[in-house]
Structure 1
């Protein structure tokens, strides 16, 4: 293990929780951690001696409070009073039993907002792998109240109570932790999201990473969630890069153990694996996973985590230039439950970062891993500010059609906001058919509908290449639809790209 960061030497030791009835906190807790601030109440739990009394005391300049509980089935659990953001605090756990008095302390504890970061390899990419890595890594000491924690990569055939291993205990940001390797230590998207949130909100932020590259959504979903989409638990659900992923194995080992903690919300970057597996079901499995996580975290925290906690996600970027496959466009659409935008009636209290304009053909880790993670995190942060924190006047969605009208040989698209448009002959396409159902047929021919005119929030397309009725319209429906930050339609300030869509057209 020579050369490993000292923190990782500490973290790689497996937890045999409850072994010998040791009095301690559960594996998720540690010095330097962030607990959820008011109005929610943080939950603490751990292991002890049956029938013993455990007293938890929060010691700080602003507030001292205590709670006493009895150990049952070798578990103790305390729900703290609501705490204002700030710190540091010392949390002291004292067990009194026939064996005597035992004390365990957590030092330098802050109260702020706790966000869970999940997904696959694009969430795993570290600051070492992003654009301007050196600059990002040199700035870390400016954010001592943004703290990070990483669950180790583990699978289980049954739901676990505690994390079997911890890869990174709670720690302050440093170049060694956030830039210690490729696809390891800590997520760049998660870190940048937390950092941008701190810059906006000025409260401590706790970031919990639980993700694994090459994984399908089914591995992160409970059996009950998958059953709502008609999926049973097979022996091997998905094979990728030599690994076999059974359904639920990551839910069991890397999400279920976290359910007792109180969180503010979650962000998610996943879907590439599902372009090859159960692609057509993602419009069910992804929303079902969100619903199930919300229910489970709410119940696990004793009602402290919101039953509709905010959930942000990244709509897939690009993979293969000049690809004719519909896999990535279809998955992007299914990520929104086939609405094209978020939040929507099926996916309430969600927010989405569009990233199809961030293609990176020169990425050393393959074009499926674009390096422009600052843009991804910035777009996620805008969504969190608007949806999770209710900030007024924060634009977080790109333009989306409010109305599509066919007038002769032209289509008028009225957008939800003012737009900045670059004329394109290829971005928009129409399906020409007497049946509006035909546009869902992947083999059906689509023809280009060039942009011929624009105004503040209207784009006019020509349909003169359509020899039949115009049944449907689609936008950016390609794996790699445009060059870097150069898609045809953005918000008027050019901050946010329009999301892709496929919608019917009525005369």
Structure 2
């Protein structure tokens, strides 16, 4: 029987109403869920009376464990092949009561976190009606949406708000409406993995619009970047009906991530960063480079999964950051790629100026989500495929030109160009997204031409020919703007990653 969203809302509006039985599973579990398959051993836990002997059964597995002083019990299930369904039962020896999880599948479980572009729902994306109707074909994908409304200065053992309990994917559970359920990026990512591997997929949508990275970071992660819980910078987002601002350091980590830490998952995906754009403390690319990287490492430690797969979206075009502030944040995101098993999907060529949700929320979520799933297919599942756009490796001056080279692994089948709409007043030959910086610190639009696996950037610029100037070239950049010109791709269709590169010597 599929979970009732209405019933869940009533149940979790007051947690104690759901805890009247003498034994129950934690509220991160539910009927219709997916537990992590082999080689991991899925862990289930719950609550009974203190020192109660609890017997857990699942298929042919049966084992007992003693609840602790607070009545919490936890047990690891055997590593299990993908499939099901299974019924998991916990039975109390003291009270004789039973708790059940029914219609459970084993497969791969992903946590989908971030702010509003991860919260952005299928119902709001392009081709929503078609996508929602198609969800009826995916009963082996199971989804859960954590509710907004809870933040905490201290770690919580359970979720206080659940918007959508574990539910079989269908047109109702995926098409819940704007800003409710289900996350478009999370859904399209998981759906592509299911279409590719045909194993059950569990998706946990766990996000809150307008929140910064430090809200999702533990005190340990904050300390890596010389931050403390007390040094919070609040974001101008409020819980409806209250005056509590969202965004204090670690408050969403405590309320929305900690309750899942004992759950076995295979990876996480992330779409966040807009709330860290700008200048000031806990803002900007340099801060994000440190804190985002520290957060990933800390999540891996706290989930007890070394080198857990972590995929993220590089920010899409957005009018509102201020010149290059969003470009700087994108660079900060890229710093995390020094970690193993971290994949970045770029959305720099999918701006949406006419989005009714504001241009910060582009509607074409399908193509960027497929780029994200490609990182998982390559890094996590081991497919031999190109999953990244060209990334700069070096640049040097050669006569009156700058030659830009790219990481060989990101070239794919080779470079190609795609036309871009030129800003008013910029000659077409300079509409490639390239700029050169001279020793007077000025940036100038420049020509770019693909030559083999390199791009040659002309030193003859639109407004300051270098041959008539004593200034020398000290830098080159591409797509380094809040709303970048994107013209360079590899032949697999991935856009070149924006960069700003200093040239020495």
User: Could you state the TM-score of these two structures normalised by the residue count of structure 1?
Assistant: 0.88
1:90 aligns with 2:96: no
Cα separation, partners in 2 of 1:21 and 1:31, compared to 1, 3 Å? closer
Aligned pairs (5 A) from 1:419-434: 419-422=415-418, 425-426=430-431, 427-433=433-439
Q: Secondary structure at the match of 2:393?
A: strand
Cα distance between partner residues in 2 of 1:295 and 1:21? 34
Q: Point out the more displaced range, 278-287 or 205-214.
A: 278-287
1:374 aligns with 2:366: yes
1:354 aligns with 2:353: no
Q: Is the 8 A contact 2:46 2:72 kept in 1?
A: yes
Q: Secondary structure at the match of 1:238?
A: coil
Q: What's 1:409 paired with?
A: 400
> 1:365 is matched with which residue: 345, 357, 362?
357
Q: What's 1:335 paired with?
A: 333
Cα separation, partners in 2 of 1:12 and 1:45, compared to 1, 3 Å? closer
Q: Is the 8 A contact 1:7 1:168 kept in 2?
A: no
1:190 aligns with 2:180: no
Q: What's 1:148 paired with?
A: 143
Q: What's 1:301 paired with?
A: none
> 1:232 is matched with which residue: 228, 231, 236?
228
Q: Secondary structure at the match of 1:245?
A: coil
Q: What's 1:112 paired with?
A: 107
1:169 aligns with 2:165: yes
Q: Is the 8 A contact 2:435 2:445 kept in 1?
A: yes
Cα distance between partner residues in 1 of 2:299 and 2:332? 19
Q: What's 2:213 paired with?
A: 217
Unaligned runs of at least 5 residues, structure 1 = 299-305, 435-443
Q: Is the 8 A contact 1:294 1:307 kept in 2?
A: yes
Aligned pairs (5 A) from 1:241-256: 241=237, 243-256=245-258
For residues 235-283 of structure 1, give each alpha carbon's deviation from its aligned partner in whole angstroms, at most 9, with x where no partner exists. 7522224534211100000001110100000000000000035213111
Q: Is the 8 A contact 1:125 1:188 kept in 2?
A: yes
User: How many positions carry a matched residue from both structures?
Assistant: 468
1:448 aligns with 2:450: no
Q: What's 1:302 paired with?
A: none
Q: What's 2:32 paired with?
A: 32
> 2:131 is matched with which residue: 133, 136, 154?
136
Q: Is the 8 A contact 1:21 1:49 kept in 2?
A: no
Tell me how far 1:402 sits from its aligned partner.
3.2
Cα distance between partner residues in 2 of 1:7 and 1:148? 16
> 2:295 is matched with which residue: 249, 273, 289?
289
Q: What's 1:491 paired with?
A: 490
1:398 aligns with 2:398: no
Q: Secondary structure at the match of 1:391?
A: coil
Tell me how far 1:455 sits from its aligned partner.
2.9
Q: Secondary structure at the match of 2:235?
A: strand
Q: What's 1:52 paired with?
A: 52
Tell me how far 1:461 sits from its aligned partner.
1.1
For residues 342-378 of structure 1, give each alpha carbon's deviation from its aligned partner in whole angstroms, at most 9, with x where no partner exists. 732xx22100110010000110100000001001110
User: Could you state the TM-score of these two structures normalised by the residue count of structure 2?
Assistant: 0.89
Cα distance between partner residues in 1 of 2:12 and 2:179? 16
Cα separation, partners in 2 of 1:17 and 1:112, compared to 1, 3 Å? farther
For residues 440-480 of structure 1, give each alpha carbon's deviation from its aligned partner in whole angstroms, at most 9, with x where no partner exists. xxxx42112211x3233121110133432211111100111
Cα separation, partners in 2 of 1:295 and 1:87, compared to 1, 3 Å? same
Cα distance between partner residues in 1 of 2:182 and 2:275? 21
Cα distance between partner residues in 2 of 1:294 and 1:221? 12
Cα distance between partner residues in 2 of 1:91 and 1:177? 23
Cα distance between partner residues in 2 of 1:93 and 1:239? 42
Q: What's 2:482 paired with?
A: 479
Q: What's 1:160 paired with?
A: 156
Q: Is the 8 A contact 1:25 1:46 kept in 2?
A: yes
Cα distance between partner residues in 2 of 1:368 and 1:8? 31
What is the CA RMSD across the aligned residues, in angstroms?
2.0
1:102 aligns with 2:97: yes
Q: Secondary structure at the match of 1:107?
A: strand
Q: Is the 8 A contact 2:139 2:170 kept in 1?
A: no
